[in-house]
Amino acid sequence: MDSMDEPAGYQLLDCGRGRRLEAFGRLVVDRPAPMANGSRHGSARWTDAIAYRAGRGWANAEGARPKLVASPVAIAGVTLEARLGSGGQVGLFPEHAVLADSLRRSVHARITRDGAKPALLNLFGHTGLLTLVAAQAGASVTHVDASRPAVQAARHNAERSGLADRPIRWIVDDAMAFVLREARRGRRYDGFIIDPPSYGHGARGNDDRGWLLDRDLGSLLSACQALATEVTCWILSAHSPGWDASRMAMAIQDATGARTPSEPVELAIHAQSGAVLALGSAVLHDPLRSERR
């Protein structure tokens, strides 16, 4: 790809007073961020950004519907599309980029150890950022999300990233239902990437129980453990109040009986202005990394 055609990257420009100012490629957006409860550090781009307001949707600085609604964005070594969506969403979670290097190291460690592509399962995979990072690193990935539009967007992102020919299975399904079927099939995975929402619906939208993080995460992790090997790696992240890294590490330990510690990661983005936006927590659990220490 010619350097002039390469997409621009992602940058948090500033945040504060319940808002965040971000550049996704050519899109500069001002959108809600309840966790950004401090003062803004200052950026001239606040005045000309495309802003999302509840009840009014997206509008440019003149208050009109924006002409630019999507842009490719380079992030964590792959290319995704940012697109103005409902509720102030843009089609990707940039805070997940902080997990990319650890994921690559875990994939490479298994390739070195086994001489084969490790099989990874990405549950609640959304539009595919970490799926593409893992595939680019050499893994065979099964990408699962209950949203058909999200899975379609992830497939398009694989094409944008030049990874359409990599071994990726694209699955529209409920996470728990898929894991239980894989157990009946006798499947095994070398790694799990799990980014559960606080609540959600099944793939068909008619699951009376739906998904509740507080109620269902332990059962899902235990079901995943039935698909694990002795050295399966785990990346578990959450953006919900009450789910910090220590609680997630305990949930993994309860499900796996693991004696090796998990590594805590704060999903925080540092802004160009000097502000810091905390967007959740994650834990990395990789027995092979413990062996190498």
Quick: pLDDT tens for 4-32: 467 899 999 999 999 999 999 999 999 99
Average pLDDT value for residue range 55-72 = 96
Cα separation, 12 vs 272, whole angstroms: 6
Angle at 236 between CA 189 and CA 8, to 5 degrees: 100
Average pLDDT value for residue range 88-107 = 98
Domain that holds residue 149: 94-292
Same domain, 49 and 151: no
Q: Find out whether 178 and 144 touch, Cβ atoms under 8 Å.
A: yes
Tokens of 252: 């993994």
Reported as a single tens digit per residue, the pLDDT across 221-252 is 999 999 999 999 999 999 999 999 999 999 99
Same domain, 64 and 113: no
Amino acid found at 88:
G
Q: Find out whether 172 and 126 touch, Cβ atoms under 8 Å.
A: no
Same domain, 197 and 136: yes
Q: Where among 28, 54, 88 does a domain terminate?
A: 88
**Total number of domains constituting the chain:** 2
Reported as a single tens digit per residue, the pLDDT across 126-158 is 999 999 999 999 999 999 999 999 999 999 999
Q: Where among 54, 88, 122 does a domain terminate?
A: 88
- The CATH number of the domain holding residue 174 is 3.40.50.150
Same domain, 103 and 183: yes
Reported as a single tens digit per residue, the pLDDT across 172-220 is 999 999 999 999 999 999 999 999 999 987 665 545 578 999 999 999 9
Same domain, 60 and 116: no
Whole-number mean pLDDT of the chain?
94
* Helices 245-256, 213-225: inter-axial angle, 10-degree rounding: 40
DSSP 97: G
User: What percent of the chain is modeled with pLDDT above 70?
Assistant: 95
| Coil vs helix vs strand at 219 | helix
Same domain, 83 and 108: no
Same domain, 159 and 173: yes
Same domain, 132 and 160: yes
- The CATH number of the domain holding residue 58 is 2.60.40.1180
pLDDT at residue 82 tops 80: yes
Same domain, 115 and 45: no
Same domain, 127 and 207: yes
Question: What's the confidence (pLDDT) of residue 2?
Answer: 39
HSE-CB of 14 using CA atoms within 13 angstroms:
15
Question: What's the confidence (pLDDT) of residue 205?
Answer: 52
Same domain, 211 and 237: yes
Strand partners, 9: 74
Which residue is associated with the tokens 């940058």? Answer: 11
Same domain, 269 and 190: yes
CA distance to 7, 99, 200, 292, per residue, from 267 (Å): 24, 8, 21, 25
Cα separation, 260 vs 292, whole angstroms: 12
Q: Where among 88, 110, 127 does a domain terminate?
A: 88
